[in-house]
């Protein structure tokens, strides 16, 4: 797997493995169960979680689907050092680009060290719906430019610039260009394992 330039591959592999292990445990899966879902070997997944193996793009996609997340989320985890204290991060144009090979268009992380949520910019002009994604975390999408058609569960709607949509975890989703022209989105996804706090009046999860 190709990591973003400037990253120490061993450190990035360790972060990726730790994130995959956290996701697997959050989803209540054993290594054996993950191996069955991905059709990847138990020893390989064990080495991957310990940062001793590097997955191919195909393997990373299988793991993402099995863990109800996206490949981009996993790449972001490899590129996001764990920070325990306060910090300020400025993101500039051209920084945080996600390696190609997951979907049409381009994407870049707008906060490399995000701990509570992952903001991401997505640019594409694809008329093809592509594959559906589903993950346990909530997600927010805002249309900056262009016209987007988004499928959420069994409903589809068109979004113009300035429109937004918030959907809870467990909602299958995918989006594409409504007219074949380029679009640009801001997508904000809750970091796995970091549930939003509930108020005293809300029931149990």
| Whole-number Å distance between alpha carbons of 73 and 16 | 10
- Degrees (nearest 5) of the Cα angle 43, 58, 27? 60
Ordered DSSP codes for 28-58: T--HHHHHHHHT--HHHHHHHHTT-----HH
How much is the pLDDT for 93? 83
Query: Residues of 105-118 as b/e, b for ≥16 C-beta within 10 angstroms?
Result: bebbbbbbebeebb
- Check: CATH 1.10.260.40 for 9-67? yes
Domains of the chain, by residue range, sit at 9-67, 106-190
CATH code of 106-190, in short, is: 2.60.120.10
- On whether the CB atoms of residues 73 and 135 are closer than 8 A, the answer is yes
Q: Which pLDDT tens digits describe the chain residue by residue (205 residues)?
A: 444 444 467 888 888 898 899 889 988 999 999 999 999 999 999 999 999 998 888 898 899 889 888 777 787 777 655 555 677 878 788 777 765 545 567 888 787 776 688 898 999 999 988 778 888 789 999 999 999 999 999 999 999 999 999 999 889 999 999 999 999 999 998 876 655 444 334 443 3
Torsion, Cα 123 126 127 130, to 10 degrees, reads -100
């Amino acid at each position: 797997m190709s990591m973003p330039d400037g990253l120490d591959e061993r450190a990035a592999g360790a972060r990726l493995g730790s994130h995959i292990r956290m996701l697997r445990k959050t989803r209540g899966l054993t290594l054996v169960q993950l191996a069955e879902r991905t059709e990847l070997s138990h020893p390989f997944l064990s080495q991957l979680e310990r940062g001793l193996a590097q997955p191919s793009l195909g393997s990373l996609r299988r793991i993402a689907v099995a863990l109800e997340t996206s490949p981009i989320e996993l790449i972001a985890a490899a590129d996001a050092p764990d920070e325990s204290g306060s910090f300020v991060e400025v993101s500039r144009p051209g920084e945080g680009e996600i390696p190609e090979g997951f979907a049409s268009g381009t994407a870049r992380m707008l906060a490399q060290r995000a701990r509570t949520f992952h903001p991401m910019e997505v640019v594409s002009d694809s008329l093809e719906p592509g594959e559906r994604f589903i993950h346990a975390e909530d997600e927010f999408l805002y249309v900056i430019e262009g016209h987007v058609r988004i499928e959420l569960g069994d409903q589809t709607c068109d979004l113009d610039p300035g429109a937004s949509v918030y959907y809870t975890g467990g909602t299958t989703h995918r989006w594409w260009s409504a007219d074949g022209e380029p679009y640009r989105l801001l997508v904000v996804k809750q970091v796995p394992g970091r549930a939003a706090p509930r108020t005293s009046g809300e029931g149990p999860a």
